Amino acid sequence: MLQLQRDVSLREFNTFGLPATARYVVTIDSEAALLDALALPELAGLPRLVLGGGSNLVLTRDFDGVVLRMAIRHRERLPDNPADPCARYVRGGAGEVWHDFVDWTLSQDCPGLENLALIPGTLGAAPIQNIGAYGLELAERFHEVRALDTTTGAFVTCSRDDCAFGYRDSLFKREPGRYIIVAVTLRLPQPWHAVTGYADVSRTLADAGIAEPDARQIFDAVVDIRRRKLPDPAQLGNAGSFFKNPVVDAATFEALRARFPQAVGYAQPDGAWKVAAGWLIDQCGWRGKTVGNAGVHERQALVLVNRGGATGADIVALARAVQASVRERFGISLDPEPLML
C-alpha cells in the first residue's frame, strides 16, 4: 500500500546529516508503486527529488515537493548469452545498496566490480554519476538501465551508448528529472582480469604479500583502503569525494608541474591529464581545517565533513572557500560532485 508522508525530516536520508524537511515523501518499492505515486493528485505539478542513499547530496533548504525514495530491491544473475560468451550479466533493482550488490556479485562468481567496493549509495544512482574508483568506472561494466521516461510516462531501456557516459557524468545528469531508473544491468567481462594499476591498490596487496590477487582479495583491499582514508558517514557526516579531479590539457599540466614538481596527475588516453583534486586542496592548507561546523577531513582533503550541527549553507560556504584557494594558487577550477539542492 502506497504511503504518502507529509512534512518529513530528511536528516537521516542524506549522508551529510544535514537538516531539511520535505513536503512529501513516498517510498517506491516497485514499478507499479512508482506509477501510482506519480498519479497521486496531491503531487501534481510539484517538484520531484529521486533519492537513493542520499550520498551525493547537499541539502541547503527545505524541499517543497515530493521525495521519491527508491527502495526497489532485487538481484539476479542472468542466463549466459550465447551471442556474448565473453561476459556474465547481473541485474538489480534501483534500491539495492551498491556495496552489498558488489559483494553479492562475487558470491555469484561474477567478478568485475570489486574495485568499486564500499562506494556509498544505491545501484540506481550509480549510472547517474558514472561512479568510479581505483582504476575503474561503472561505464566499463555497464550494459543497460530500465527507467521511466517522465516526459512520455513509458518505461524505456537505455543502452551504454544512450547514456553518453563521461567523467562523473551521464545523460541522466544532463537531463535531470526526466528519467527515473528502476533497474540496472551490468556486463562483467570474462575471463576476468585483475585491475591493480592504481598505486594504493597495488601497494596494499604487496603489503599483504599477494602477488596474484583474486577478485575477493582486491575487494578486501579496496575496502581496507577506503576505511583507512575516508570517514564513515554513520560516524561523521560526509558525501565522500566532494570535488571532481579536474581534467586539464597537457600544456597546462606541464606548466603546473614546472611550478610544482610534486603535482599529482594521471595521464588520460586523449593526452589530457587528470589532476588530483585532493593534492591541490592539501597544498592550499585545507586538510583538517574546520570553519564553523563544517570541515575538511584530516586524512583526505577531498572530503568535506559535518563536524556536528552543520547546515547545507555551511558546507557550501566551505566548498566555495576551498575552490577560491585552489583557483588563486593554481589557476584551476574545482567542480563539486554532489547535487546542491
Strand order in the sheet with 21-28: 4-9, 21-28, 63-70, 48-51
What phi, psi does 256 have (nearest 5°)?
-65, -45
**Cα gap 67→73, rounded to integer Å:** 18
**Residues labelled as active-site residues:** 168, 241, 337
Strand order in the sheet with 75-77: 75-77, 87-93, 179-189, 142-149, 154-159
Sequence-ordered list of residues with C-beta below 8 angstroms from that of 67, at least 6 positions apart, any chain: 8, 10, 13, 22, 24, 25, 26, 48, 49, 51
C-alpha cell at 205: 596487496
